[in-house]
Homo-oligomer: A and B are copies of this chain.
Amino acid sequence: MTDQHPDLDALRAANPDHWRRATAIRALTLDAVAAANSGHSGMPMGMADVATVLFEKHLKFDASRPEWPDRDRFVLSVGHGSMLLYSLLHLTGYPEMTLDQIRNFRQLGSITAGHPEYGHAPGIEVTTGPLGQGIANSVGMAIAEEILRERYGRKIVDHYTWVMAGDGCLMEGVSQEAITLAGHLELSHLIVMWDDNGITIDGKVSLSDSTDQKQRFKAANWDVIEVDGHDPVAIDAALTDAKKGKKPTMVACKTHIALGSSAQDTSKGHGALTDEKVIADTKRAYGWDQAPFEIPADLKAEWEAIGARGSEARAEWEVRFADLGQGKRGEFERTLRGDPARKLSATIKAMKRQLAESQPKVATRKSSEMVLEVVNPIMQETVGGSADLTGSNNTLTEGMGIFSAENRAGRYIYYGIREHGMAAALNGLALHGGIRPYGGTFFCFTDYARPAMRLSALMGVPVTYVMTHDSIGLGEDGPTHQPVEHLAICRATPNTNVFRPCDTVETAEAWELALTSARTPSVLALTRQGVPTLRTTFSNKNLVAQGAYTLADTTEGKRLVILMATGSEVEIAMKARDILQADGIGTRVVSMPCWELFEAQDEQYRKKILPPGPVRVAVEAGARMGWDRWLFGERGKRDKGAFVGMEGFGASAPSDELFEHFGITAEAVVKAARAML
C-alpha cells in the first residue's frame, strides 16, 4: 500500500482528528520554510504522523516543565527536519517556542535555527544536523537512564529515549557503532524510529545503498518492527510494542517524503518547497485552508492538551522525589546541575600536597589514573570508559564496576573499538544530566571522534576526553599513531579547553578544571612515557587555571630568554634552562598547559608571564600551527622567536631516538635561543 501514491482523502477520512493534528505540523513547516526561503520541508511532512502519535500517546513530557528530569528524551537525529521539532514544541505549548519564533525560522537571533541547536530553547534536547550524531548521542542518554534508574529506582528514573533517524543517519558509520553498542548493552529504553522514505539528496536511496536495514539491526541485537508511517493506529501499536521489548527497538516507518506535494517521493521534496502554487496545492490536498502560520484555536487547544498530558505524572513524580531521602535528593540535584562534589577541591589539594613530597616520575596517563583513583570515589556521577584501550588510557579505577546488560550499577563502559560512537555517547551521557562522563582513546584517534568532539564544544557540554599517547613519545607504533597536528586541531576548535599537563600536579589541576567545567569540554593530552614531577613546591592555587605560568625563572642577572612548553616538553625546556643559566643566560620557563585559559586571562597577567624583551623559544612535539601567536602575536616590542617541534609526520622507533631524530631536545632549544641572542 505505502509504495503507491497515498490517498490523502482516505487517510483523512480514516482518522480525521489525527489528520488535522498532523496537518498542523505540515502546514507550519510549509509556511516557515517558505518564509525563510530555505530549509527542509519533506521530512516533517513525511514523519508528521509518527511524531503526532508519539507526542499524543507515548512521549512522557510536560510542555510547561521542559526540564522535568524524568521526561522521555526526544532526539531528532535527522536534524535538517528541524521544523518538525519546532512545530511540535510550539503546538504543545512550550512557552519559549512562540509563533514569532516559527515565523523567524532560520533568521539571526531566533531560537529556530536551521538545525536544532541545544541551548536555544527548552525541548531541544540536543544539537543535530551532522547526520548520525543524534542516534549515537541517544545511546549515551539511554545508558544514563539505566545507570540513574539503578541508582535512584524506577520511581524517580524511568523514561525512554525516542529517536527519529533518516537514511542519512543510518548510512553514516557512527550509526553502526551506536547500534552495536546499544544492542550489546540491551538498552531496552531506546527506540529508534527510522524514517524509511527511500530518498536522499542525490535521489533514491537505491542509487547508493542496498542495505537491508532491518536485518542489520537484528544482527546488532535489536528488536525490529515495521509499520506504515501514515497509519496512526498502526503507529500507536508499533510504539506500544517497542516499549515492551528487552532490547532496543528499531521501528521502520515506511513514509512518503513531502507527503501530498508534487515533490512527494523525490529528492526535490527533501529540500525547501517554496513555490507558492506547490504550497497552495499541497495544503488543498491536506484539506487545510488556514492562512499562513494560522492554527485554529480548537486545534491549538487539542495540541496544548497533549502538551499538558504529562503534567499529572510530573506532579506525582515531584511528590515521589520529595519523598526521597535528603541525601539522595541533594545528590540528584547537584549532579543534575553539574556541580562538582563539595570535596573535590580539598581532595585535589591533598593530592597535590602529597605529590610535593613523593614527586613521582610517571607518564601523565598514569597521573590521570592517580587523580581518577581519588576522584571517582567521591563523585559518583563520573562514568568512564575507553575505546578498547583501558589499560593504555588508564581510565578504569577500582570499584567503578563495569556497566553491562547484567550490571546497571557499573560506572565504566567498554566502548569497544568505537571512538566516534564513544564520543557521541559521551555527549548523550552529559546531555541527559546527572552524569559527568569521560572517555579515553589515543590522542591520534581524535580524528575518529572529531565530529562528536566538535559537537561537545558547540553544545557546550562538559565532556572530558582522556587522550593518551600524545606525541611521537609513543614510539614504535609509528606515524599512524603519533599525533602531530592534533593539538592544533583541538585548539582551533572554539569552546574547547585543551590541557597538556607536564606532570602529575598539572594533571591533577587539569582534571579539577575539567570536572568543574559547566559548559566547556576538556581534552587531556597525556603522555605514554614517564615524565618527572616538575612542580615540586605545593601551591594552594590551581595554576593550570591561569593557562600558563612561570614554572622556573631567571635566578640572577637579566632575563634574556623565555622558553615556552607544554606536556613532556616542559622537561626539555627545564633542561635547556639549566644549560643556559649555567652559561649566565637568564632564562624563564613558562609552562602553558592550557592556551585557552591563558588567553582568557587579562592582558596584565599575560604580559607578566610573557613580558616583551627576551627572545622566545617554544618547544612542543607537535605542529607549529598556533605557536606564532605566543612567539610574536602579543608583543609590544620587536623580539625574536623560534619554534622547536615537528615539521612533518613522525616515524616508528623507540621514543628517545625519535626525540633525537626530530631534534626536539634541550640542546636544540639552547641552540635556537643562542642563535637569536
A421 in contact (CB, < 8 A) = yes
CB-based contact A418/B201 at 8 Å:
no
A-B pairs, top 10 by smallest CB distance, nearest first, are: A173-B173, A208-B416, A632-B632, A108-B653, A176-B176, A638-B638, A129-B480, A113-B652, A215-B219, A488-B492
A603 to chain B, nearest CB (A): 16
Given contacts A638-B638, A653-B108, A200 and B492 within 8 Å (CB-CB): no
CB-based contact A658/B108 at 8 Å:
yes
CB-based contact B201/A181 at 8 Å:
no
The docked-state distance in angstroms from the alpha carbon of A265 to that of B357 is 43
Task: Report A68-110 residues with CB < 8 Å from chain B CB.
Answer: 79-80, 106-110
The docked-state distance in angstroms from the alpha carbon of A628 to that of B628 is 5
CB-based contact B107/A648 at 8 Å:
no
CB-based contact B113/A478 at 8 Å:
yes
Contact partners of A633 in chain B: CB under 8 A: 628, 631-632, 641
CB-based contact A476/B211 at 8 Å:
no
A107 to chain B, nearest CB (A): 6
CB-based contact B129/A477 at 8 Å:
yes
Enumerate 18 A-B pairs (CB-CB under 8 Å) in ascending A order: A106-B652, A108-B652, A114-B481, A114-B652, A171-B180, A172-B417, A173-B174, A203-B414, A208-B418, A215-B219, A219-B219, A447-B451, A447-B454, A488-B626, A492-B626, A495-B648, A624-B629, A625-B625
CB-based contact A480/B127 at 8 Å:
yes
CB-based contact B480/A417 at 8 Å:
no
Contact partners of A479 in chain B: CB under 8 A: 113, 117, 458
Contact partners of A210 in chain B: CB under 8 A: 180, 183-184, 220-221
Produce 1/0 per residue, A619-649, CB < 8 A to B: 0000111101101110101100100001111
A489 in contact (CB, < 8 A) = yes
Given contacts A451-B448, A481-B115, A417 and B129 within 8 Å (CB-CB): no
CB-based contact B106/A476 at 8 Å:
yes
**Which of A55-63, A360-368, A382-390 is the interface stretch?**
A382-390
Task: Report A150-207 residues with CB < 8 Å from chain B CB.
Answer: 167-168, 171-177, 180-181, 183-184, 200-203, 207
A216 in contact (CB, < 8 A) = yes
A139 to chain B, nearest CB (A): 13
The residue of chain B having its C-beta at the shortest distance from the C-beta of A386 within the complex is: B202
A109, A175, A202, A415: which has the most chain B beta carbons within 10 Å? A202
Contact partners of A495 in chain B: CB under 8 A: 648-649
A543 in contact (CB, < 8 A) = no
Contact partners of A664 in chain B: CB under 8 A: none
A207 to chain B, nearest CB (A): 5
Task: Report A471-504 residues with CB < 8 Å from chain B CB.
Answer: 475-481, 484-485, 488-489, 491-495
CB-based contact B415/A108 at 8 Å:
no
The docked-state distance in angstroms from the alpha carbon of A649 to that of B637 is 32
CB-based contact B211/A38 at 8 Å:
no
A392 in contact (CB, < 8 A) = yes
A560 to chain B, nearest CB (A): 19
A357 to chain B, nearest CB (A): 33
Chain A interface category by residue count? 35 or more
Given contacts A108-B651, A652-B115, A180 and B209 within 8 Å (CB-CB): yes
Contact among B168, B416, B624, B638 with A209 in the assembled complex (CB-CB below 8 Å): B416
CB-based contact B173/A172 at 8 Å:
yes
A131 in contact (CB, < 8 A) = yes
Contact partners of A651 in chain B: CB under 8 A: 108, 113
CB-based contact A492/B492 at 8 Å:
yes
Contact partners of A38 in chain B: CB under 8 A: 475-476
The docked-state distance in angstroms from the alpha carbon of A390 to that of B653 is 43
A535 in contact (CB, < 8 A) = no
The docked-state distance in angstroms from the alpha carbon of A608 to that of B227 is 68
The docked-state distance in angstroms from the alpha carbon of A169 to that of B539 is 46
A17 in contact (CB, < 8 A) = no
Contact partners of A284 in chain B: CB under 8 A: none
Contact partners of A174 in chain B: CB under 8 A: 173
The docked-state distance in angstroms from the alpha carbon of A184 to that of B421 is 24
A450 in contact (CB, < 8 A) = yes
Given contacts A215-B215, A480-B458, A629-B628, A131 and B173 within 8 Å (CB-CB): no
Contact partners of A638 in chain B: CB under 8 A: 637-638
Given contacts A391-B201, A638-B637, A485 and B477 within 8 Å (CB-CB): no
CB-based contact B489/A168 at 8 Å:
no
Contact partners of A458 in chain B: CB under 8 A: 479-480, 649
CB-based contact B115/A477 at 8 Å:
yes
